[in-house]
Chain A
Amino acid sequence: MMKVEYINPFVMAAFSVLESVLGQEPTKGALAMRPSTFTSQQCNIITGIAGQIEGQVIYGMSLITADKIASAMIGQPIRTFDQLAASAIAELGNMITGNAMSLMAETGYTCDITPPSIIRGTNVKISTLSIPALVIPVHIEQGEIELTVSLREK
């Protein structure tokens, strides 16, 4: 069973990272269960977690939101979603997951993270297989980021 308490460090980390990187206070929406297979957002940052807790955390957003966040991070509007923009968006996911791991370590769970990857496209199906997932939307000026947390204790 996916524990609801696993999602809190990610929400807290998302808030502090977004506030630091984008200089604004996000708001969160309602927590919901994900079916084991779901249609992804247009742009997804996937970060893996291994250790006492294992699984994936996926940050999903629209292409427009991804462009806007990348522009804000780089400090100038991006013309195309190039390598630098992809790297900025991936780093956002890396920072949120990394910061969440620090919070988890405080509660006694030691875990490592994998370098992030990005999946872009419409109507992509994602399956977290045997690990159930919880989703929570986080709202910022640039749009919405959906945090899908799919973790289990090893």
Chain B
Amino acid sequence: MAKRILITDDALFMRVTLKNILSKSGYEIVGEAANGRESVELYKSQKPDLVTMDITMPEMDGITAVREIKKVDPNANIIMCTAMGQKSMVLEAVSAGAKDFLVKPFQPDKVVEAVQKLIG
């Protein structure tokens, strides 16, 4: 059975791009969240194998969403996908519980590589 992924990004363009990249590699996209709050809700209802998480988003930012998801599932696989690559941001995301960090713009093979490393 295909591994299930939840995409989180406020930009429709990024959601479409990530969906295309991951679907082509055989993953099932079980939800698309436009902010952190939606992502937490969809995590609870869909129980995906992995979440991609933007940081700068309205309503609830990605770092807060990572903490909320980790409360629900301490083993959650979350990869940050963000334009903000400074060290302090990476450290904050990792300490919140994110397992990898991709800086936009990313090449498709880097995304697939990061996902494969976590969920195969």
Q: Which residues of A contact B (CB under 8 A)?
A: 17, 20-21, 73-74, 83-84, 87-88, 90-91, 94-95, 97-99, 101-102, 105-106, 110, 112-115
Interface residues of B in 81-95 (CB under 8 A from A): 82-88
Q: Which of A17, A91, A110 contacts B13 (CB 8 A)?
A: A91
CB contacts between A and B, total, < 8 Å: 62
Asked if A115 meets B86 with Cβ closer than 8 Å, knowing A17-B105, A84-B16, A98-B56, the reply is: no
Contact in complex: B11, A101 (CB < 8 Å): no
* Interface assignment of B26: CB less than 8 Å from any CB of chain A: no
Q: Report B36 CB to chain A, min CB distance, Å.
A: 12
Contact in complex: B83, A95 (CB < 8 Å): yes
Roughly how many angstroms separate A114 CA and B58 CA in the complex, as a whole number? 9
Contact in complex: A94, B11 (CB < 8 Å): yes
Q: Which residues of B contact A (CB under 8 A)?
A: 10-14, 16, 56-58, 82-88, 103-105, 107
Which secondary structure dominates where chain A touches chain B? helix
Contact in complex: B86, A90 (CB < 8 Å): no
Roughly how many angstroms separate A97 CA and B13 CA in the complex, as a whole number? 17
Roughly how many angstroms separate A114 CA and B83 CA in the complex, as a whole number? 12
Contact in complex: A102, B86 (CB < 8 Å): yes
Q: Which of A87, A91, A98 contacts B84 (CB 8 A)?
A: A98
5 contacts between A and B (CB under 8 A): A20-B105, A74-B13, A87-B12, A88-B13, A91-B13
Chain A residues, Cβ within 8 Å of B58: 115
Contact in complex: B84, A115 (CB < 8 Å): no
Contact in complex: B12, A105 (CB < 8 Å): no
Chain A residues, Cβ within 8 Å of B12: 83-84, 87
Contact in complex: A113, B105 (CB < 8 Å): no
Roughly how many angstroms separate A22 CA and B72 CA in the complex, as a whole number? 40
Contact in complex: A91, B86 (CB < 8 Å): no
Q: Which of A91, A102, A106, A110 contacts B11 (CB 8 A)?
A: A91
